[in-house]
C-alpha cells in the first residue's frame, strides 16, 4: 500500500489551524521565488525539517521524501550548467562545454530551491487531514466541491505513484527493459507504462466520480455540514504572525536589495 | 409481501457507441422486475450479461452519467431514477461499487463514513451517531482512525458498505461484494449482509459468487445478454444446473452434487446435504480411492528454488520470513493464504521483480540477484490479477506481440506465436481492436494470450479467477491443465479454494512464513490450521470431512467416486470437461 501524504498524529503542528499551515506553504513559496540566495533556500529547508521533526514525523518518512526528490534533484544539478552556463572558474570540460564553479553552484541552488518548495508544502500536507483541509478551503471562501476535489486529488498522488510501480512491474514481467544509458531510449521505454497508467487512472477516476455522486456529493438542496469546528486560537495567531514576519521579512529584504 | 420498493418496467438500455457508425448491442433488454421491502435478490449472469449496468440503472447513473439509449422506467421508493438526480437518490439507493479501493476517497475510516452524511447536510451530532452505528454494524469501530488505504480488501469492502449504510438508504445495491476477497474477508462481508437481511434491509446483489447467492438470497435473477432468462428461489434456480452451465453461471458445489446424485431437490446448505446423504447414501463403506486432483505431481529437477528467503518492504512490513520452497520442473502448486500474507511478494521473487534481502532464489540454477531486470521473463510468465495493469497497446495484436518482441525474437517467430496465442484464446477476430475498449473477460483473455505467446516454462498466476464468470473460469482452468500436461510448471495464487484443487500440492502462507506444504487433500483436511491462515475448505471438502471421508474428496466427481457412485455426466462444475470459450465482443 502506498504511504498517504498525510501522517496521522496529534502533535502541535497537526493541531494548528489548516489555514495557518497553508499560509506557511504559500508565504514560503513567495519568499523562495522572490530571492536568489542559497542561504535562504538552505534556511527554509532547515526550518521545514525542524518543524516536521517537532511534529514527530519519522526520519524515515523524511528520507522517503528525499528519495522521491532525488532523480529531479540530480537532473537539475547536472543539466543546469548545460542550459545556463555562467562564466567563472572552470572545473571541468565536456566536449565544447566548460563547467564553471559558478554554474555548478547555480544548479545546486536551483535544486535546493525546488526541494525547499516541496518541503514547505509537505509541512502542510503531512500534518493536515483531508477533512481539515476541506474545512480550511471552505473558510477561505473556496466552494465546497472545489475543496473536496482538491483534497481528493492530493490524496490520490501516492495512489498514482503505487499504480505506476505496479504497472512497471507488469511490463517488466513481460521483458520490458527500462534501464538505458541513453535518456531518450529510457524515456521511450517507459511509454507502455505511461499509457497503461493513464488508461487505468481514467477508469479509476470515472468509478470515483460515480461513487462520489452516489454518496450525495453535490446533492441539490443540501448545505454540506462542517462536522468539525475550526477554531483560530491564540497559538494560531502567534504562528501566523511569525510566518508573516519571517517570509514577509525575506520578501521585503529582497525588495530593499539586502539579499 | 408488501408493495414493491423497486419497480422496473420494460427497461431497455444501450451504451452510447464509442465511434460513429458502430452500434453496441443493448446492455439491458426488456427488464421487468419488482423487489419488495425486506427482500434480498441476487442478480447473476456471465460477464457482460448486464448485471453492473442494472445496478447503475437503479441509482440513476444509467443513463444520467453514461448517456446512451434508455427506454422504460425504474422507480425506487416511488422516485424515477431517470429524472431524479443521482446525488438526490442517495437516500433511496445505496450503491456499493465492485472495487472498494476505487470508491474510498478520504484519509480515515470515520471520515469515509462521514463523507456522504456531510453532503446531506446532517447535524454534526447525528453524523457522529451514524458513524458509530454503521461502523458497529460492519465491525470496524476499532479502526475508526485508520487510513482506508491500509485496510485489507475485506475491510475496505465493509467500509464501503458502512459508508452507504450510514446514509440509511431504502435499498442497498451491491456490485460483486465478495469478488477478490480472501475466504475470511468474504465470510465477514457475508455475515454483515446476513445480519442486515435479518434486520429487514432490502438488498440487491450482483454476483458471480453462487455460494453467497445460495446462502443469502430470497430470489435469484439470472441475466443473459441483458435479458432476464431465469428467476425464482435459489432452490428453483440452482436446480437447473445444466441451464445455468450453458449460461456461464457457476452453481454452488452442493447443488452440483445433488444434481449429479439425482436428488429431486438441490441442497443449499451443508446440513441439508449431510442429512440427505446419511439417509440415502450412508457412506459406511467408502470406496478407498485416492482423491483425483486432475494433475499428478511431476518428478524432475528443481526448476525454482527459494532458500531461506526474507523480504521487508521499505514501509517496514516484513512480507517474507525464512521461506524455503522447491519446485520441480512440471510441478503445479497452489499458493494460498489470507490477503497480505506474502503470496504476491513470494511470486514476485520467482520472476525477479523482487530480490531477496536474505537467502536466495534460483530459477534454473540461476541466482535472481544476478539476473538483470526483465531477463527472467523468458523463463517465468506472470499473469497479474488486474489485466489493466499491462494493457497499453493500440491493438490486441500489438499487445500480445509486446512480450515476444522484448525477448528479441525475429518477426516470423513473433507472428507465429502471436497468431497461435490469439487463436487459442479466440481473440483472432478482435486482433485489430484496441484492447482497452474490450469487455473485462476479453481483456483478461488478452493478458493470458500475451503470456502464452511468450511460451515461458514457468507460469505464475496471481488470482487469475477474480471477477471471471463460470465459463471463463473453466476455460482458464482448461488452459492451465494444458500447460501442465505440456510439462510447464505452475504457481497458482488464489483465494478460490474450489479452484485451488487444480494443483496436487498446496503451500499455505501465514504472516510471511510457510505454515503448511502438503498434498492438497491432506492440507484441506487440516481445517483448524487453514482457519488460522484465514482460509476455509470449499463446501464439498467440508461435506466429505463431516461424513468422515479422509482424506476428503476435493471435487464433486471425487465425492461421487468416494461414496461408490458413478457420477452422472457433467453438467456444470469446474473439475469437468471444459466448453468452448465464449466470444466476448468489444464494448461494455
Which residue does chain B place closest to A149, by CA atoms? Answer: B105
Contacts of B84 (CB under 8 A, 6+ apart): B60
Residue B150, all three cell numbers: 491500509
- pLDDT value of position B296: 44
Which of B33, B30, B35, B28 lies closest to B56 in space, CA to CA? B28
Question: Nearest CA of chain B to the CA of A135: how many Å?
Answer: 12
pLDDT at B301: 63
Contacts A175 to B, Cβ<8 Å: 374, 377-378, 403, 406-407, 454
**Nearest CB to B388: which of A1, A199, A222?**
A199
Interface test with B, best of A171, A179, A214, A221 (most B CBs within 10 A): A214
Shortest Cα distance, chain B CAs vs residue A200, angstroms: 6
User: Nearest-CA residue of chain B relative to A229?
Assistant: B124
* Residue A259: exposure state from Cβ atoms within 10 A (0-12, 13-18, ≥19): middle
Residues of chain B found within 8 Å of residue A3, distances taken between Cβ atoms: 315
Nearest to B112 by CA among B165, B52, B34, B39: B165
Cell 468539525 appears where? A228
DSSP A205-221: HHHHHHHHHHTTTT-TT
Give the residue among A25, A50, A47 at the shortest CA–CA distance from A117.
A25
Taking CB atoms and an 8 Å cutoff, what residues of chain B touch A203?
A: 388
pLDDT surpasses 60 at A247: yes
Strand order of the β-sheet with B366-367 is B318-328, B302-312, B358-363, B366-367
At A3 the pLDDT is 57
- Find the CB nearest A214 among B86, B106, B436: B86
Max intra-chain CA distance, chain B:
70
Question: Per the CB < 8 Å rule, is B90 touching A179?
Answer: no
What residues are paired with B362 via a beta bridge?
B305, B367
Sheet strands side by side (includes B79-80): B28-36, B4-14, B69-76, B79-80
* Chain B residue closest in CA terms to A163: B389
Contact list in A for residue B402 (CB cut-off 8 A) is: 174, 176, 192
Q: Do A64 and B95 touch (CB under 8 A)?
A: no
Model confidence over B226-261: pLDDT tens digits?
999 999 999 999 999 899 999 999 999 999 999 888
Q: What is the pLDDT of residue B94?
A: 94
Contacts of B391 in chain A (CB under 8 A): 196, 199
Cβ contact, residue pair B403, A199, below 8 Å: no
- Identify which of B333, B339, A37 has the alpha carbon closest to the alpha carbon of residue B350: B333
Predicted-complex ipTM score: 0.79
Q: Which residues of B touch A217 (CB under 8 A)?
A: 87, 115-116, 119
Distance, in Å, from the CA atom of B353 to the CA atom of B518, rounded to the nearest integer, reads 27
pLDDT digits (tens, 9 = 90+) for B417-433: 999 999 999 999 999 99
Please tell me if residue B464 touches chain A, with a CB cutoff of 8 Å.
Answer: no
Mean pLDDT of the A102-111 span: 90
Cis bond before residue B63 (omega within 30° of 0): yes
User: Are A207 and B389 inside 8 Å of each other by CB?
Assistant: no
The pLDDT of residue B380 is: 94
Percent of chain A with pLDDT over 70: 98
Residues 437-456 of B with CB under 8 A from A: 450-451, 454
pLDDT average per 10 residues of sequence, chain B (588 residues): 85 87 87 96 93 95 93 95 93 90 87 93 94 92 87 86 94 91 87 92 95 95 96 95 92 92 89 86 53 46 91 87 94 92 92 93 92 82 88 93 94 96 93 87 91 95 86 89 92 91 93 95 94 93 91 90 64 40 34
Grid look-up 572558474 returns: A89
* Angle, in degrees to the nearest 10, between helices B411-424 and B396-406: 130
Of B172, B163, B207, B210, the residue nearest B193 (C-alpha): B172
> Which residue ranges make up each domain of chain A?
1-128+230-259, 142-228
Q: Which residue of A has its CA nearest to B97?
A: A211
B403 contacts in A (CB within 8 Å)?
A: 174-175
How high does pLDDT run on average in chain A?
88
N-terminal to C-terminal alpha carbon distance within chain B:
35
Do A175 and B406 make contact, defined as CB atoms within 8 angstroms? yes
Question: Given A175, A196, A222, which is nearest B121 (Cβ)?
Answer: A222
All residues of chain A having their beta carbon less than 8 Å from the beta carbon of residue B107 are 4, 6, 8, 129-130, 155
Question: Residue B103: its chain A contacts at CB < 8 A?
Answer: 207-208, 211
Considering only alpha carbons, which residue of chain A is nearest residue B152?
A: A1
Q: Which of B319, B373, B383, B418 to mutate to test the interface with A (most CBs of A within 10 A)?
A: B373
Partner residue facing B121 (CB), from A129, A158, A224 = A224
> For residue A90, what pLDDT is reported?
80
pLDDT for residue B288: 52
Q: What is the total residue count of chain A?
A: 259
CA–CA min distance A188, chain B (Å): 14
Report the C-alpha gap between B325 and B406 in whole angstroms. Answer: 29
Q: Over the stretch A61-104, which tens digit does the pLDDT of each residue have? A: 899 889 889 989 998 888 888 777 777 788 877 777 777 888 88
* Among candidate residues A56, A162, A118, the one with its CA nearest the CA of residue B314: A162
A-chain residue closest to B387, CA distance: A170
Which residues of A fall within a CB distance of 8 Å from B348?
169
Residues of chain A with C-beta less than 8 angstroms from the C-beta of B90 = 214-216, 219
Question: Structure pTM?
Answer: 0.82
User: C-alpha grid cell for residue A50?
Assistant: 525542524
B95 CB near a chain A CB, below 8 Å? Answer: yes
Test the A interface: residue of B76, B86, B438 with most A CBs within 10 Å? B86
Cβ contact, residue pair B381, A173, below 8 Å = yes
- Please indicate whether, in this complex, the C-beta atoms of A196 and B120 are within 8 angstroms of each other: no
Which residues on chain B are in Cβ contact (under 8 Å) with A222? 119-121
* B315 interfaces chain A, CB cutoff of 8 Å: yes
The nearest CA of chain B is from the CA of A160 a distance in Å of 12
Q: Is B271 exposed, middle or buried (0-12, 13-18, 19+ CB in 10 A)?
A: exposed
Q: Which residues of A touch B388 (CB under 8 A)?
A: 196, 199-200, 203
Average pLDDT over residues A126-153: 87
The pLDDT assigned to B281 comes to 65
Answer whether A211 sits within 8 Å of B88, measured CB to CB.
no
Q: Does any CB of chain A come closer than 8 Å to the CB of residue B90?
A: yes
Q: What integer pLDDT is reported at residue B577 of this predicted model? A: 36
Amino acid at each position: 500500500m502506498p504511504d498517504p501524504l498525510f501522517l496521522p498524529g496529534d502533535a502541535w503542528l497537526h493541531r494548528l489551524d489548516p489555514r495557518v499551515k497553508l499560509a506557511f506553504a504559500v508565504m514560503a513559496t513567495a519568499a523562495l521565488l522572490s530571492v536568489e540566495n542559497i542561504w535562504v533556500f538552505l534556511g527554509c529547508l532547515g526550518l521545514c525539517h525542524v518543524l516536521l521533526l517537532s511534529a514527530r514525523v519519522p526520519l524515515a518518512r523524511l528520507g522517503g521524501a528525499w528519495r522521491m526528490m532525488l532523480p529531479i534533484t540530480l537532473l537539475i544539478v547536472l543539466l543546469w550548467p548545460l542550459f545556463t552556463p555562467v562564466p567563472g572558474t572552470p572545473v571541468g570540460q565536456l566536449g565544447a562545454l566548460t563547467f564553471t564553479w559558478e554554474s555548478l553552484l547555480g544548479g545546486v541552488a536551483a535544486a535546493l530551491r525546488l526541494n525547499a518548495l516541496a518541503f514547505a508544502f509537505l509541512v502542510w500536507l503531512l500534518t493536515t487531514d483531508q477533512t481539515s483541509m476541506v474545512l480550511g478551503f471552505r473558510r477561505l471562501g473556496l466552494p465546497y466541491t472545489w475543496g473536496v476535489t482538491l483534497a481528493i486529488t492530493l490524496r490520490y498522488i501516492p495512489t498514482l505513484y503505487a499504480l505506476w510501480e505496479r504497472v512497471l512491474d507488469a511490463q517488466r514481467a513481460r521483458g520490458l527493459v527500462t534501464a538505458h544509458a541513453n535518456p531518450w531510449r529510457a524515456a521511450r521505454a517507459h511509454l507502455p507504462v505511461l499509457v497503461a497508467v493513464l488508461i487505468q487512472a481514467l477508469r479509476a477516476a470515472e468509478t470515483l466520480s460515480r461513487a462520489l455522486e452516489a454518496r450525495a456529493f453535490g446533492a441539490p438542496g443540501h448545505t454540506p455540514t462542517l462536522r468539525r469546528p475550526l477554531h483560530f486560537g491564540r497559538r494560531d495567531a502567534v504562528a501566523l504572525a511569525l510566518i508573516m514576519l519571517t517570509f514577509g521579512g525575506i520578501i521585503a529584504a529582497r525588495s530593499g536589495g539586502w539579499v | 409481501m408488501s408493495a414493491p420498493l423497486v419497480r422496473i418496467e420494460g427497461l431497455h438500455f444501450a451504451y452510447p457507441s464509442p465511434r460513429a457508425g458502430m452500434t453496441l448491442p443493448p446492455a439491458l433488454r426488456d427488464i421487468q422486475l419488482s423487489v419488495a421491502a425486506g427482500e434480498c435478490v441476487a442478480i447473476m449472469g456471465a460477464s457482460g450479461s448486464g448485471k453492473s449496468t442494472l445496478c447503475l440503472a437503479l441509482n440513476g447513473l444509467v443513463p444520467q452519467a453514461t448517456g446512451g439509449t434508455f427506454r422504460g422506467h425504474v422507480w425506487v421508493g416511488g422516485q424515477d431514477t431517470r429524472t431524479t438526480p443521482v446525488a438526490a437518490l442517495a437516500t433511496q439507493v445505496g450503491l456499493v461499487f465492485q472495487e472498494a479501493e476505487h470508491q474510498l476517497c478520504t484519509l480515515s475510516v470515520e471520515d469515509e463514513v462521514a463523507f456522504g452524511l456531510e453532503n446531506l447536510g446532517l447535524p454534526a451530532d447525528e453524523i457522529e451517531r451514524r458513524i458509530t452505528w454503521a461502523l458497529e454494524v460492519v465491525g470496524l469501530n476499532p479502526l475508526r482512525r485508520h487510513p482506508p488505504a491500509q485496510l485489507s480488501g475485506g475491510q475496505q469492502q465493509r467500509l464501503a458498505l458502512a459508508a452507504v449504510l450510514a446514509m440509511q438508504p431504502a435499498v442497498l445495491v451491491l456490485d460483486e461484494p465478495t469478488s477478490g476477497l480472501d475466504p475470511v474477508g468474504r465470510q465477514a462481508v457475508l455475515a454483515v449482509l446476513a445480519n442486515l437481511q435479518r434486520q429487514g434491509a432490502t438488498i440487491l446483489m450482483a454476483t458471480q459468487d453462487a455460494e453467497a447467492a445460495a446462502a443469502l438470497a430470497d430470489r435469484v435473477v439470472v441475466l443473459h445478454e441483458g435479458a432476464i432468462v431465469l428467476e425464482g428461489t435459489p432452490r428453483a434456480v440452482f436446480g437447473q444446473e445444466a441451464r445455468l452451465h450453458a449460461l456461464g453461471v457457476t452453481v454452488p458445489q452442493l447443488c452440483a452434487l445433488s444434481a449429479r446424485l439425482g436428488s429431486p431437490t438441490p441442497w443449499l446448505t451443508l446440513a441439508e446435504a449431510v442429512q440427505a446423504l446419511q439417509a440415502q447414501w450412508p457412506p459406511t463403506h467408502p470406496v478407498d480411492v485416492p482423491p483425483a486432483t486432475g494433475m499428478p505431481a511431476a518428478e524432475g529437477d528443481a526448476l525454482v528454488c527459494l532458500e531461506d528467503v526474507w523480504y521487508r518492504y521499505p514501509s517496514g512490513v516484513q512480507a517474507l520470513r525464512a521461506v524455503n520452497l522447491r519446485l520441480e520442473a512440471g510441478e503445479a502448486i497452489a499458493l494460498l493464504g489470507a490477503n497480505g500474507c506474502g503470496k504476491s511478494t513470494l511470486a514476485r521473487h520467482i520472476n525477479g521483480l523482487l530480490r531477496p534481502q536474505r537467502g536466495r532464489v534460483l530459477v534454473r540454477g540461476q541466482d535472481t540477484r544476478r539476473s538483470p531486470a526483465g531477463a527472467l521473463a523468458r523463463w517465468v510468465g506472470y499473469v497479474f490479477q488486474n489485466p489493466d495493469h499491462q494493457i497499453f497497446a493500440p491493438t490486441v495484436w500489438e499487445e500480445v506481440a509486446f512480450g515476444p518482441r522484448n525477448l528479441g525474437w525475429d518477426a516470423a517467430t513473433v507472428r507465429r506465436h502471436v497468431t497461435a496465442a490469439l487463436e487459442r484464446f479466440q481473440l483472432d477476430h478482435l486482433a485489430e481492436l484496441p484492447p482497452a475498449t474490450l469487455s473485462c473477460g476479453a481483456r483478461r483473455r488478452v493478458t493470458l494470450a500475451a503470456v502464452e505467446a511468450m511460451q515461458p516454462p514457468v507460469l505464475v498466476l496471481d488470482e487469475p479467477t477474480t471477477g471471471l464468470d463460470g465459463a471463463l473460469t473453466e476455460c482458464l482452468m482448461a488452459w492451465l491443465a494444458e500447460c501442465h500436461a505440456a510439462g510447464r510448471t505452475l504457481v497458482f495464487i488464489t483465494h478460490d479454494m474450489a479452484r485451488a484443487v487444480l494443483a496436487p500440492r498446496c503451500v499455505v502462507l501465514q504472516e510471511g512464513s510457510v505454515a503448511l506444504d502438503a498434498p492438497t487433500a491432506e492440507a484441506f483436511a487440516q481445517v483448524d490450521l487453514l482457519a488460522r491462515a484465514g482460509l476455509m475448505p470449499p463446501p464439498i471438502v467440508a461435506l466429505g470431512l463431516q461424513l468422515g471421508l479422509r482424506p476428503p474428496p476435493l471435487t464433486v466427481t471425487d465425492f461421487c467416486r468416494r461414496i461408490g457412485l458413478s457420477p452422472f455426466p457433467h453438467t456444470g462444475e469446474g473439475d469437468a470437461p471444459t466448453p468452448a470459450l465464449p466470444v466476448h465482443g468489444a464494448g461494455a
